[in-house]
Copies of this chain bind each other. A is one copy, B any other.
Amino acid sequence: MPKKTLSTKEKLLAAATELFIQKGFDRVGVREIAAKAGINLSLMNYYFQSKERLLEHIFEKIIISKATHLKQILDSNISLEDKIKKYTTEYIDVLIDNPLIVSFFLAILHRNPEKIVAMASIRTLYNSEVFCKQLEDEMKAGRIRQVDPEQVFICIVSLVIFPFAIKDLIMDRNNFSSSEFNKFSQQRKEVVSQMVLNFIGLK
């Protein structure tokens, strides 16, 4: 375990990240962050220049850490069927481990759409050219039916991500415990890939 002593900056980032994700940016105070990190208040503006810039730092870090691997799957050189299965499966795994990042991401997106959309990491990671091209190739080759690649991609992310945005609602509706919700999410891996593969005419 190489993380016995966290640097001040790391403690600060860890505390702020957790609080932002849990409570939402606007509902976390700087004094609360400093207290949780066990550091002095002034250090927040010493390392980052403002609460807003701290958020930008954290937001980008989260996106990159979670989405890079998923993007690689999308861009990889494997069959369409395997790709769809792998992508949905591993995406759901990420969200089971971090269900709250969905609400966090959507809140920040709603808060400042232009800025988020302009971010380099977003433009790089939230992009599916390779995947869409692959769909078009399969269509031309007559191996799948005619579909709009963008629609297919939006379907996949909708099916994967949205349930985590309404996790509390789903849990309440079905009297799910947290682990039962996770079981439900595990089952979704199969549901989602089946549904998408069916739709494009594979299987």
Chain A positions within 8 Å of B, measured between CB atoms, are: 24, 26-27, 103, 106-107, 109-111, 113-114, 116-117, 122, 126-127, 147-148, 150-151, 154-155, 157-159, 161-163, 165-166, 168-170, 172-174, 184, 187-188, 191-192, 194-196, 198-199
Contacts and interface: CB of A to CB of B under 8 A. Distances in A.
A37 B186 CA distance: 48
A150 B142 CA distance: 34
Interface of A is mostly: helix
Nearest to A159: B158
23 contacts: A103-B106, A106-B106, A107-B110, A109-B165, A114-B168, A147-B191, A148-B191, A150-B174, A150-B184, A151-B184, A151-B191, A154-B163, A154-B188, A155-B195, A157-B162, A157-B166, A158-B161, A158-B163, A159-B159, A195-B195, A195-B198, A198-B199, A199-B199
Q: Determine how many copies of this chain the complex contains.
A: 2
A115 to B, nearest CB: 10
A81 to B, nearest CB: 16
A165 B165 contact: yes
Contacts of A159: 155, 158-159
Contact of A126 (B24, B107, B173): B173
B116 A191 contact: no
A27 B111 contact: yes
Contacts of A27: 26, 111
